[in-house]
Amino acid sequence: MDKRKNNITSAQLMGLIVSIQVGIGMASLPSNLAAICGHDGWISILIYGIIITAVIALIIKLMNRYNNKSIYEINKFLYGRYLGGLLNLLIVLYLWYSACLSLRSYINYIHVDLLRSTPSFVLCVFTLIPTCYLAWYGLKYITRFAQMIYLSIGFCLILFLIVFSDLRLNFLMPIAQSGIEGIKASYSPCIFAFLGYEVISVIYPEITNKPKTMKVVIGSNIITTIFFVILVLVTTSFFGEEMLKKSIYPMIKLSRSYRAPIIERMDVLYIAVWLPAMAMPISGYFSVTYYSIRKLLNLKKKAIYLIVFTLITILLSNVPKSISNIKVYTNIMTISGTIFSIFLVICYLFSFIRKKGVKTHA
């Protein structure tokens, strides 16, 4: 493996994490939250954002305890060759599952909003062409492309600004009506939206300026949290919780509801700017999974494996057939992501007991 092609800077890492988190998570987040905790979704996002930041801090602390090692090597230090190997396999499966589900969710979005009759298989192939192309060259190129997320977020913020006069703040009242129960119940959509930070445990050895990693990853989570809070506040105060509950993808509806001078239909511009951004979790998870497989199995002929890996991903992503089906698979991803995060925290605590591989001055 050409090391330099996978080396990424801290700024690139920030873009990658924000792109994976924001990409597909934002599409249905406001309506999922409205269905669970009414107009208080923004409070849930804020609270879960803070919790996730604490988890990220612990993950980085775990990585810092080892000398340039990823979770795959750390597992072998902590749990031995066989149990560590099994855990590594589970992590790769989780990442692969996330890539397939991101692809499926993205294709579903295109089906609902754009190309209703185009077969999923065809859409999968065309969606994965640029991802494969970038993954072929390495993580560095994926993360460079991921910087485009800031353009998409910027466009969204402009859209929020121009609909500001149409917002009804009363739709957000009374604040905290759903109470603690609402916050607890909104666990699933919130965690799903924030997933993406866990890839840091896999790609950590490829980061060039590690001292900045903690600051950068927490920074990316703060960007995501702020963006999600604004998103939920704006969509809730624009549509009201009742209308929001009936919508699947409220952002596209918001863009359709604004009468823009000259261009007239804002949704066309929104689609053009957001479609690449929404595909970023696919490229993120896909490339990290491919990177993991190559690293663990020490593969050399990468063209053959990349093609095989792509074909299997396309086939697996076609397993969920409907929106309700995707929701079931999304819940599985949320639970798996939570287990993975808890596992990383446990690894951190366990590293104080079993100190094999730990840096001497850590």
259, 300, 301, 361: residue in contact with another protein (rule CB under 8 A): 259
Rounded to whole angstroms, the Cα distance separating 177 from 285 reads 37
**Does residue 111 interact with another protein by CB under 8 A?**
no
CB of 113 to another protein, least distance (A): 5
**Does residue 276 interact with another protein by CB under 8 A?**
no
Size of the site for another protein (CB under 8 A): 26
CB of 223 to another protein, least distance (A): 29
Rounded to whole angstroms, the Cα distance separating 217 from 13 reads 8
Angle at 330 between CA 43 and CA 160, to 5 degrees: 45
12, 109, 113, 270: residue in contact with another protein (rule CB under 8 A): 113
Rounded to whole angstroms, the Cα distance separating 201 from 129 reads 27
Query: Smaller CB distance to another protein: residue 2 or 242?
Result: 242
Contact between 42 and 231 (Cβ < 8 Å): no
Residues 6 or more apart whose Cβ sits within 8 Å of residue 93: none
**Does residue 357 interact with another protein by CB under 8 A?**
no
Q: Which of positions 165-224 make contact with another protein (CB under 8 A)? A: 166, 168, 170-171, 173-174, 177
Closest of 142, 137, 141, 109 to residue 123, by C-alpha: 109
Rounded to whole angstroms, the Cα distance separating 132 from 94 reads 19
CB of 126 to another protein, least distance (A): 7
**Does residue 133 interact with another protein by CB under 8 A?**
no
Per this entry, what is the length of the chain? 362
CB of 256 to another protein, least distance (A): 5
**Does residue 301 interact with another protein by CB under 8 A?**
no
**Does residue 160 interact with another protein by CB under 8 A?**
no
**Does residue 307 interact with another protein by CB under 8 A?**
no
Q: Which of positions 235-254 make contact with another protein (CB under 8 A)? A: 238-240, 242-243, 246-247, 252-253
**Does residue 69 interact with another protein by CB under 8 A?**
no
Query: Smaller CB distance to another protein: residue 171 or 192?
Result: 171
**Does residue 261 interact with another protein by CB under 8 A?**
no
Closest of 127, 104, 41, 118 to residue 323, by C-alpha: 104
Closest of 254, 257, 194, 192 to residue 220, by C-alpha: 194
Which tokens in the block code for residue 152?
């998409």
Rounded to whole angstroms, the Cα distance separating 139 from 133 reads 11
Contact between 136 and 306 (Cβ < 8 Å): yes
CB of 249 to another protein, least distance (A): 10
The residues that touch another protein, with contacts defined as CB under 8 A, are 112-114, 126, 129, 166, 168, 170-171, 173-174, 177, 238-240, 242-243, 246-247, 252-253, 256-257, 259, 265, 267
